[in-house]
């Protein structure tokens, strides 16, 4: 329910059309988390909102420059809102958070929700460039994604965890949602997979992004976020009991 979460907004974001909501939550390979943080740092996204929940979010504050903030925050620029989490999301939070996200998208007239995740593959070390796939909740949107030819169709399998619940809840509200699923490591941060996702997002939303620095700093990024990877690794088995939680 919406009252399960408290929202603090500094201002109301003014969005050009078409408007998108990008969701970056920790999961396999931290593919979405790394992509979200890269956009915050390189796309001049403005932080405007914090989301609180005594019931569903862990008792953790994200400290930046000595200032304690909610680990779940909102950013925006032009036609994009980014919802980014700096901590792993507990399994019991997934459905209420998904409902909150979809209701928030509806409130601001968001046409499309985009999620980014990884699909762990055993031969990840042998891949020069991970392959991206798409999953969506709309037959019409599926045809569009097929025609764009930016990703392969995630033909058959299972998806569980944060992005599965968003697919379900957005479908109920008839809001388009698609998940970019990139081949990744399961329990190692994967900046290379995030770079693949960012290239796709930039083409769909319409902004320029240079992921060269992301690839150059891959090892440094892995070192910085190893704590978040450990938190996420502990939560993954709780996501519907599937491990890996996205697989074909």
Find where tokens 């929700």 sit.
113
Q: What is the pLDDT of residues 16-41, one digit of tens each?
A: 999 999 999 988 889 999 999 999 99
Q: Enumerate residue ranges in the chain where pLDDT < 50.
A: 1, 242-248
Categorise residue 109: left if φ over 0, alpha if ψ from -120 to 50, beta otherwise.
Answer: left
Report d(CA 244, CA 120) in Å as an integer: 7
Exposed (0-12), middle (13-18) or buried (19+): which is 141, by Cβ within 10 Å? middle
Q: What is the pLDDT of residues 51-81, one digit of tens each?
A: 999 999 989 999 999 999 999 999 999 999 9
Report d(CA 183, CA 197) in Å as an integer: 10
Predicted confidence at residue 209, as pLDDT, reads: 86
Structure tokens at 203: 């083409």
Predicted confidence at residue 125, as pLDDT, reads: 86
| DSSP classification of residue 16 | -
Predicted confidence at residue 247, as pLDDT, reads: 46
Q: Which domains does the chain have, with CATH numbers?
A: 14-247 (3.40.50.10900)
Predicted confidence at residue 4, as pLDDT, reads: 87
Predicted confidence at residue 221, as pLDDT, reads: 64
Q: Is the peptide bond before 126 cis (omega within 30 degrees of 0)?
A: no
| DSSP classification of residue 131 | P
Categorise residue 92: left if φ over 0, alpha if ψ from -120 to 50, beta otherwise.
Answer: alpha
Collapsing DSSP to helix, strand or coil, 24 comes out as strand
């Amino acid at each position: 329910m919406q009252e399960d979460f408290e929202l603090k907004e500094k201002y109301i974001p003014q969005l050009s059309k078409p408007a998108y909501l990008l969701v970056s939550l920790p999961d396999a390979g931290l593919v979405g988390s790394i992509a979200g943080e890269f956009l915050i740092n390189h796309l001049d996204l403005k932080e405007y909102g914090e989301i609180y929940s005594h019931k569903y979010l862990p008792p953790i504050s994200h400290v930046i420059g000595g200032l304690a903030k909610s680990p779940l925050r909102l950013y925006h620029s032009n036609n994009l809102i980014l919802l980014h989490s700096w901590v792993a999301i507990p399994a019991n939070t997934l459905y209420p958070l998904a409902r909150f996200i979809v209701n928030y998208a509806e409130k601001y007239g968001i046409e499309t929700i985009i999620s980014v995740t990884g699909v762990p593959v055993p031969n990840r070390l042998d891949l020069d460039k991970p392959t991206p796939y798409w999953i969506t909740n709309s037959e019409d949107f599926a045809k569009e994604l097929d025609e764009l030819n930016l990703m392969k169709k995630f033909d058959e399998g299972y998806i569980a965890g944060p992005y599965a619940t968003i697919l379900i809840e957005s479908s109920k509200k008839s809001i388009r949602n698609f998940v970019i699923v990139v081949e990744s490591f399961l329990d190692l941060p994967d900046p290379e997979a995030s770079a693949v996702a960012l290239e796709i997002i930039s083409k769909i939303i319409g902004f320029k992004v240079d992921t060269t620095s992301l690839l150059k700093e891959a090892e440094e990024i892995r070192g910085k976020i190893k704590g978040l990877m450990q938190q996420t690794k502990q939560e993954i088995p709780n996501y519907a009991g599937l491990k890996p939680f996205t697989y074909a």
